[in-house]
Amino acid sequence: MSVPKRARSPSVDEFDGLDADDLIRAVQESETPKKARVNETAPTPAPYTQPYSGTAEDPLLLERTTMSKAWFERLEPAMRQESFKKLKAFLDAEKRAGKTIYPPPHLIHSWSRTTPLEQVKVVIVGQDPYHQPGQACGHCFSVPKGKAVPASLQNIYKELKAEFPDFVPPRHGYVGIMN
């Protein structure tokens, strides 16, 4: 199996400081193959200023404004569960206590905008979130280009190489837009 060389994918670092419209435009105008681009039905993500728990009128405001429509609709029943509400309340309390939370709110669900639901075959959930500034970008095992490739991702690359000998591991750790 030959893995074709892809055009350069945008790095999360390139999006820092962009407003929501510029963020969407930057991703859509990237040279990324069409099928890997941001889900066209995704709502416009914006830097999030409301509490993680949303508002009384819309407790899922963060998710509704930062997740793709398809993923939001699929996950909404789970997000309305008490355990999810408790998690969001915990994040609010930590934020009010002055704690830093990674990734930033507008990147928490970025995976949903680069991973079309209908193309998902496997879901791998990471258990150890990244906790240093500039590392967490909303994708398990992924870090922005320019950051050291995490050991867990190096292991995934090794397994891919063992299974698919023609696989050439990227020299970076950003897996947000990969085929």
Rg of the chain in Å (alpha carbons)? 17
CA atoms within 13 A on the CB side of 163: 7
Distances (CA, A) of 144 to 107, 113, 178: 12, 16, 13
* Residues 141-164: tens digit of each pLDDT: 888 888 889 888 999 999 999 999
Q: Kindly report the pTM of this predicted structure.
A: 0.61
Query: Can you read off the two tokens belonging to residue 34?
Result: 């069409």
Using an 8 Å Cβ cutoff, are 114 and 9 in contact? no
Contacts 24+ apart (CB under 8 A), 17-26: 19/46, 19/47, 20/44, 20/45, 20/46, 20/47, 20/106
Q: Is 19 a catalytic residue?
A: no
Q: What is the pLDDT of residue 175?
A: 82
Residue 50 has what pLDDT? Answer: 59
Task: Please provide the average confidence, as pLDDT, over all residues in the chain.
Answer: 74
pLDDT band at 72 (very low <50, low <70, confident <90, very high): very high
Q: 54-58, 89-93, 109-113, 135-139: lowest mean pLDDT where?
A: 54-58
* Best mean pLDDT range from 41-55, 103-117, 129-143: 103-117
Q: What is the pLDDT of residue 103?
A: 86
pLDDT of residue 124: 78
46 Cβ neighbours under 8 A, 6+ residues apart: 19, 20, 65, 66, 106
Q: Give the residue with greater pLDDT, 175 vs 48.
A: 175
Catalytic residue among 58, 92, 128, 166: 128
The rounded distance, in Å, linking the Cα atoms of 4 and 92 is 44
Nearest C-alpha neighbor of 17 from the set 42, 44, 47: 47
The answer for 38, left when phi > 0, alpha when psi is -120 to 50, beta otherwise, is: beta
